[in-house]
Amino acid sequence: MDDGDKIVRVRLDVNGAARDYAGPAARPLLWFLRDQLGLTGTKYGCGIGQCGACTVHLDGAAVRSCVVPMSATSKRKVRTIEGLGTPDRPHPVQQAWLEIGVSECGYCQPGQIMAAAAALAGPTPPPAQTLEDIGNICRCGTYARIGAAIALARARGASA
C-alpha cells in the first residue's frame, strides 16, 4: 500500500455546511468537491496547480484545489463557486463579470472569479496591476475583460 492509499477521516466546512470525508489521504480536494459532493463548478484543468481552473477559497485564501490533499483540509473552511453568490444575489465579482460579459467558453471562469474574489477580499488589496493578472489560464483569451471586471468590482469596493 503506497501513500496514496492511506486512509484519513476528515471533517471540514464546505460553503457553510459540515462535511465528512473518509478515504485516501492524498485525494485532492478538487475531486472530493466534484465527485463526492457534486460541486462541479470547480473545474479540473491540469492537476498540477498550473492553470487555476480549480481555484477555491481555503480559510479565505485562494488555493488550487487540485494540489490540496484531503489530509490538509481538516477543520478548515472551504468556499467554492457554488457558495459565492446566486443569480438573485450575485457576489460583486460575479456582478462585474456579468456586466462586462467576460465569459467565452466559460470553463475557467469559476476559477478566475474565485481568485479575483479572494484577492479583492484580502486585508490589503494588491495594486491594480497585480490584480488584473490573477495568473489563471484562459484559452479563449478573455484576459482583458477579466482585468476590466476586476477593476470594476474593485472600484465598487468589492469584498465579502
Partner 1 sequence: MKLGRRAFVCAVTATGIACLAGPARVLGGAAASTSAQPPVNDWSVWLVIDAAGAITLFHKVTDLGQGTPSSFAAIVAHQLDVAPERIALKQAPVRAPYLGPDDDYVTSGSAGIRAHYASLRQLGATARAVLVQAAAARWQVAAAECAVQAGAVVHRPSARIARFADLADAAARLPVPSEVQVDERRMPRAAFAGRARADEFGFLDGSAVFGVDVRLPNLSTAAIVHSPIAGGAVRSVDATAALRSAGVVDVVRLDDAVAVVASDFWTASQALRKLRIEWTPPPTLPDTDRHRQALLAAVAAGQGMPVRVEREGSAAEQRRASERVMDAAHRRVEAVFYVPWAAHVTMEPQTATAHVAEGRAELWLPTQSQAQVRSTVAALLKLPERAVTVNTTRVGGGFGRRLETDVAREATLIAQRVKRPVKLIWSREQDLHNDYFRPAAAARLRAGLDANGDVSSLVFDVAAPSILASSSNTHTLPADEPDFTAIMGLAGGYRLPEPSIGWTRVEAGLRSGWWRSVGCSANTFFLESFIDELAAVKGARPLAYRRALLAQDARALRVLQALEEQVGASAPVGQDWFWGFSWLRYSGSRVAHAVAVSREAERSIKLRRIVVAVDCGVVVNPHFARSQVVGGVVWGLSACRFGAIGFAQGRPQQSNFHDYPVARARHVPPIDVVFVDSEADPGGLGEESVPGTAPALANAIFAATGRRLRELPFSSEAITFVD
Query: Among all chains, which residue has been given the C-alpha cell 466546512?
Result: 13
Here's the x/- map for partner 1, 59-98, by CB under 8 A: it reads as ---------------------xxx-xxxx--x---x--xx
The residue with cell 460553503 is: 15
Assess contact for 144 and 110: CB atoms under 8 A. Answer: no
Q: Exposure string (b/e) for 23-36, b if CB count within 10 Å is 16 or more?
A: bbbebbbbbbbbee
The answer to whether 40 touches 105, Cβ cutoff 8 Å, is no
Which of 36, 59, 60, 61 binds partner 1 (CB under 8 A)? It is 36
- Please pick, from the candidates 22, 139, 156, 160, the single residue that binds partner 1 as defined by CB under 8 A: 139
> Should residue 44 be labelled a site residue for partner 1 when binding is judged by CB under 8 A?
yes
Give contact residues for partner 1 (rule: CB under 8 A). Answer: 4-5, 24, 27-28, 31, 34-36, 38-48, 50-51, 53, 80-82, 84-87, 90, 94, 97-110, 113, 132-147
